[in-house]
Amino acid sequence: MPDTPVLPSLLERTVASLQNDGRLVKTDWDLETFDVLATRDGAENVLGVAKPSTGTVVFYYVWPKVIAHEYVSLMLEFVARANCDLYTSAFEFDPDSGIVSVRAGAEIGNDSVNRDAESAFLINALDEVERAGALYDSVVRAVGSGNMSAIQAASSI
């Protein structure tokens, strides 16, 4: 009886797609997470999580500076306003930890999508969080340090 071929996992396919696109990826195989190393100066690495139970990969661009307590309300307002302009990604802000991020996901299933299409979905989601990170970086930093109001920040994009 022939052996059943072992199909690559969601994480393996994701890492291969990113590497085939020329991206450098640092992978934690046990936690099914990865870092996509930044390609532009001053940018942050993008964090990724493969969720095989849902066939989903989620990318996160996380700002390195934690938002101080006195600016939490400003950031909450900014995130609500900024999310009105994002369609395939979303800002997330945890007021307890002070962490701000933009996330985008790709639901690709566990083995039902054509590999080329799967790669395109993954690269698109990665590109989306990197674009949002680049576009919103200065205003997130300004709002997070109290140097700009949420209204000014949202209208400056």
β strands within 11-149, DSSP E: 25-28, 33-36, 46-51, 56-62, 90-94, 99-107
CATH topology of domain 10-67+87-135: Yope Regulator; Chain: A, (3.30.1460)
* pLDDT above 70 for 43: yes
- In the chain, domain spans: 10-67+87-135
58-104: pLDDT as tens digits = 999 999 999 999 999 999 999 999 999 998 999 999 999 999 999 99
The structure tokens listed for 149 are: 């109001």
